Structure 1
Amino acid sequence: MNATPQHTQLLDALAAASSSIRLKAALAAGTHPEDGFVDALVARCAVEPDFFVRDMLTWALTRHAAELTVPKLRAELGSGTAQARSQALHTLSKIADPAAWPSITPSLLRDADDEVARSAWRTAVVLVPDTEKPRLAAELATQFGRGDRQLRLSLSRALVALGTVVEPVLEAASTRADPEVRAHARATAELLRDPDAGFHLDIDEAKRVAALGPERAATC
């Protein structure tokens, strides 16, 4: 496709120094989608520092044909840049094309970068076929005890979104030797039973047991 001056100007604006200009460019790309915008939008997602601009880039990509965007976003999942992986996952969750499911690999669900892993958990529960839910639940359960309270809550919410199929893995994890894993699994089970239940109590108890030992904790 031959680029018009307006087309070239918009693509240049996606890399402007001003975040407001980049935001307007992403908005324009989504309002008037063209196939030639997709590569630039995907590339910008990997480096864009502003949250609101990234969100607009994702929206703009959802406005383009999935047969164009999904393969390019799937390719980004192998990027060495954490933001590229995370933003591609987030965008795939918004597009919700089942064709992307095979790209949600165990390595992404266990990614060393917390934001990538969090995005992978959220995307996985959007894309997973019903027949794959038990396997996904088992994979997510390997991450019990990871990270701070907010990351653990994200994992729990992903598991809860899968429904009652997660009950066997929660039961198994609740008997693990690691007190942090046990507490996280039990907190998730409580969240499954009652979405309004407090999440932090079991986690705090696990920390107390880990610090004092089970015998002393029981007498305190």
Structure 2
Amino acid sequence: MSEMQETQPQTAPASTDGGLESTKRRQILEGAREVFLARGFDGASMGEIAKTAGVSKGTLYVYFDSKEALFEALTAEEKRGLAEVLFRLDADDPDVRGVLTRLGHSYLEHMGRPEHISSVRMVIGAAEKFPRIGQIFYEAGPCRGIERLGAYLTRQVEAGRLTIPDTAVAAQQFLDLCKSGIMHRLLFAAGAPPTEEEIRKTVESAIYVFFSAYGPQAGSR
């Protein structure tokens, strides 16, 4: 039986100390992140993850009954946390250009990090065999980011600062404009992470195109 199919009939932790259990779970996830990034999804083993995390294999299976379940939990937690940090937007801030410019910079800085590129490649590689992993990655990260940005844009439309017929589509378009060709280049290892100057120029271009289409003057055309 393969490790992905193997499950261990363990019982849940007996302790009622939620803080202790949360710390142990975090310890396991940190170890899993290290192993997955070093070995890839297929190359990682539950035994190596347990060793790196400093727990027994039996303890590991108490928290996660398979490598797939562990990877899903790690992916969802990391992407959800990232979306909450990057897309913490003040809906009442009237400086829309400033808000979107700052978002574009932080978004590209993160997207260009080697560890993020490695994570994306790993998910893409695993998603064909385990589609749920790709779905979790997409829903916890890109979808949540688009939802948060879309909500911000909706408030700006209501305030008369933007003219957008579909804010969810516009949110996706803005992020795509920011990524431009940078993400594809990095995924194929065809160049170095973007420089500050490249990020600045890319975001400026994205802002120009976005406001040309959705600025307050768009409604008068």
* TM-score in same-fold range (> 0.5): no
Q: Comparing both chains, which one has the higher relative contact order based on Cα–Cα distances under 8 Å and sequence gaps of 6 or more?
A: 2
Taking structure 1 as the reference length, the TM-score comes to 0.33
Taking structure 2 as the reference length, the TM-score comes to 0.32
